[in-house]
Chain A
Amino acid sequence: MMAAQTAVSAVELRGISKFFNGVPANQEIDLQVRAGSIHAIIGENGAGKSTAMKILYGLHRPDAGEILIRGERKMWSTPAQAISAGIGMVHQHFMLAGPYSALENILLGVELGNSSAPLLKAFESLARPVDRKSAKARLDGLADQYGLRKIDWDLPVETLPVGVQQRVEILKLLYQEASILILDEPTAVLTPQEIEELFSNLKKLTKDGKTILIITHKLKEVMSLADEVTVFRAGKVVGRRAVADTKVEELASLMVGRKVNLKIEPPSKPVPRDPVLEISDLHLTTAPGRARRVHPLEKISFSVRGGEVVGIAGVEGNGQSELLQVLLHPRDFSKRNSASVAHATGSVRCLGRVTMNEQTRLRAEEIKLLGVGVIPEDRQREGLLLERSIEENFLLGLQKRSVFSRNGFILRKNLREAALRAIEVYDVRPRAIDLEVEALSGGNQQKLIIAREFECEPKLLIAAQPTRGVDVGAIEFIHRRILDAREKGAGVLLVSSELDEILALADRILVMYAGRIVAQFNRGEVSEQVLGLSMGGAHA
């Protein structure tokens, strides 16, 4: 098919199958990765990409099939064995011990990972002092060799920017002499500039003969980075392409199994209406003596009018979550509340009511009842009761509406009818309202949340990372719904770290960096490049 097959593959999976409780996660997976290439693995959530990579990395044992590394058959049951065969993995959530220095994190991995009898080895290395100086020298040498920017080895890892932490992870693998690197969704937490740097680093690595496997769902990245791509769907491989011979549209329809419209028609000009959200001079300071888990906010002022989408762009962890928390739960950040971890000052008006200022702080329930719909950032923790039925989740937050309860008793017939109608309209699958929400896919969980939040036609919609972890087909649907709400006159506050999403949906874009709004643009006035720079703090 391709030139790839003539040479010996660095990695080859043959007929790999894996079942969990009889449910197939991988079926007959065949995968060839050319040595020295960048190979992308794409697919929707639950398509089995991660399972396949975990099998390759020794975290799962396959039920059938074989693994070949440089043509040699391998069987392994622990990552340690995979590591000693030269395979390394950077997990989506980095495996770093926060308070320890970058150097210690790297040595920790080597001491424990590189042995068939790890416990014994760990004792050995405890007994013998680690030569930090030579380790540092070797790491600097590696960084030089592969053209990676230097790292201050002695700082605690948790104080380093995310992009640098990722570099630590990559150097850890190089230090372990890995020649096959697996990266799981490596760009999820990076700024566009950091992504660019990562990509150029990865390309340099392949020039030196390293082989790279990258798991992603961002098709644009596949096109700009990878040489070849393998597409997973429903636990099977449904296609392989050389990137040069394919297009984003083709990959998208392979992933979803049907034609997908990736372009959103540009929405009509916004019709200016009254503001639905006005924030002025909002500050958030950590309460004395409390842990610094809360990102402070500084001088935040902006407003959202009905009929417009205001997008807040920014790398995650720059105060976006805190902003939303303060908007929705002003009481929890009051000085009078002794349990609060941070104090907010400033004023917020929501749909004509003061929800927060020096004197008043509305309760979260009162704010929601003004007509605020919320699509929370962490859908599973903040949006859903996972072990409860679709029906009960639909009721969550609507339980006091007169349609659904009278005199404190739930009107079960109305609830059932409304829930059935909603999952039909919002295409939540499967259509079984007694099913536990846990069993739904990410996209369907999100659709359920949207169905619920749209039930009372919100006048202000707060949508945080609305398409995170959602499959391509559902993204299209969710974006259309958000724009529908805007057409109907609702104001939308969209918080997203996906630039494409912000650029496609927002009428105005605010950039948040280090707890402040550092830049503001109108639709069409800003390029991805400029936006990326200000997300990285260039305008701060």
Chain B
Amino acid sequence: MTVLRSRIFRSLQPLLAVLIGLAIGLLITKFAGENPWHVLKILVNSAVGSRYDIGMTLFYATPLILTGLAVAIPFQAGLFNIGAEGQLTLGALAAAAVGCVFPDIPWPLAPVLAVLAAFLVGGFWGFVPGWLHAKRGSHEVINTIMLNFIAAGIASWVTLYILKNPESQNPETRAVGAGYLIHHFQSFGDAPLSSAFVLALVAAILVSVFLWRTVLGFQLRAVGQGEGAARTAGIDAGKMKITAMFLAGGLAGLVGVGEVLGNAGRFRLGFSPEYGFIGIAVALLGKNRPAGVVAAALLFGALHKGTSDLDLETENVTRDLSLILQALIILSVSAVGLWDWFNRNRPAGRRA
């Protein structure tokens, strides 16, 4: 009975954390001289008030689902992927590069090729730190951070010197061929919501099936839970970690699909407002499970969209409230988790 209760409680924890975080955040707006109730109404209204708003929320959520998964999968294998930012940058660049170099390939082959390129190149950028960790024992956190910078460097160079759009002052590549552009949902007004959102949802479902229904997924999670036990069972821990990092990089790379094929039609330097790092928060809030990641990504997407109207609608609060709320939610997740951790560790002395 207590087991059941604590399980339900544990799965409700993130929700509790979100509520606490929102409450504190809104309280802060009171100190800024706003009516929290009013701010909340603007937030909700601006996030889901119209079809367009809902479309924008889903649009913002799309990359977060993917980067959240890109953090969650390595986490299940016992690794911390801070490199989703670099992986998504190169994935997007690869999609754009294919589209610029072979502009005449027709639909539907063209987007398939671009998706593959984004996945493989992003995957490679995850594979490298995975391989280094498995074979050379170097720490994946350090390596993924450094690879983020390298990815940014490569992206700048390719964009400015190789695929530069001659007709623009902006740091961006030429436009991809018309055959590459993917379907926009008409029912959300002007929101650039494309089939990339569906792709992200399918990815989440596949990851869930992979982790919990397949042998490979089981082995990967076994390594994350107890590398020693997995090793004794004959599981090649290194291979599992490399697999996890490759998949993670590939999923992060798919962020490029929504951006390049579904939104801008080209690669723009700095298009990502650090989706890769927000993905860490998304995975944390979603407890590293695909369904949780999707829910957390939707929430963060809604926050991002919801706060965008604050600049206009309030005197004293700006859209930066989004960052404050994100931070507060993460802090409350950690605080609730910490409380749980204390409870779990206190009876350690019981065993003789």
Q: List the interface of chain A (C-beta within 8 A of B).
A: 20-21, 23, 25, 43-51, 54, 59-60, 215, 232, 328-329, 338-339, 363-369, 374, 376, 378, 381-388, 392, 395-397, 399-400, 405, 408-410, 412, 435
Q: Are B350 and A399 in contact (CB under 8 A)?
A: no
List B contacts of A369 (CB < 8 A). Answer: 234
Q: Are A409 and B215 in contact (CB under 8 A)?
A: yes
Q: Are B347 and A21 in contact (CB under 8 A)?
A: yes
A23 in complex: contacting residue of B214, B235, B347, CB < 8 Å: B347
Cross-chain pairs A/B with CB under 8 angstroms, 28 sampled: A21-B343, A25-B347, A25-B349, A43-B352, A44-B352, A46-B350, A47-B352, A48-B352, A51-B349, A59-B349, A60-B349, A232-B352, A338-B136, A339-B137, A363-B234, A365-B235, A365-B236, A376-B228, A376-B229, A378-B228, A381-B228, A382-B229, A383-B229, A383-B232, A386-B226, A396-B229, A408-B215, A410-B218
Q: Are A382 and B215 in contact (CB under 8 A)?
A: no
- The docked-state distance in angstroms from the alpha carbon of A338 to that of B235 is 20
List B contacts of A43 (CB < 8 A). Answer: 352
Q: With contacts A49-B352, A395-B218 known, is A388 near B347, CB below 8 A? A: no
Size range of the chain B interface in the assembly: 20 to 34
**B35 interface hit (Cβ, 8 Å):** no
- The docked-state distance in angstroms from the alpha carbon of A5 to that of B3 is 45
Q: With contacts A339-B136, A386-B226 known, is A20 near B213, CB below 8 A? A: no
9 nearest interchain CB pairs? A397-B233, A20-B347, A365-B234, A368-B234, A50-B352, A385-B225, A382-B228, A381-B228, A25-B350
Q: Are B346 and A20 in contact (CB under 8 A)?
A: yes
CB nearest neighbor in A for B7: A434
Q: List the interface of chain B (C-beta within 8 A of A).
A: 3, 135-137, 213-216, 218-219, 222, 225-226, 228-236, 343, 346-347, 349-352
Q: Are B229 and A385 in contact (CB under 8 A)?
A: yes
List B contacts of A54 (CB < 8 A). Answer: 349
The number of inter-chain residue pairs (CB within 8 angstroms) is: 107
List A contacts of B350 (CB < 8 A). Answer: 20, 23, 25, 46, 51
CB distance from B293 to the nearest CB of A (A): 20
CB nearest neighbor in A for B226: A385
CB nearest neighbor in B for A368: B234
List B contacts of A386 (CB < 8 A). Answer: 225-226
Q: Decide if the interface of chain B is mainly helix, strand, loop or mixed.
A: helix
Q: Are A382 and B349 in contact (CB under 8 A)?
A: no
CB distance from B114 to the nearest CB of A (A): 28
CB nearest neighbor in B for A434: B3
Q: With contacts A395-B218, A400-B215 known, is A374 near B232, CB below 8 A? A: yes
CB nearest neighbor in A for B351: A46
- The docked-state distance in angstroms from the alpha carbon of A120 to that of B228 is 43
List A contacts of B215 (CB < 8 A). Answer: 399-400, 405, 408-410
- The docked-state distance in angstroms from the alpha carbon of A368 to that of B349 is 36
- The docked-state distance in angstroms from the alpha carbon of A413 to that of B200 is 30
Q: Are B3 and A435 in contact (CB under 8 A)?
A: yes
List B contacts of A48 (CB < 8 A). Answer: 352
CB nearest neighbor in B for A50: B352
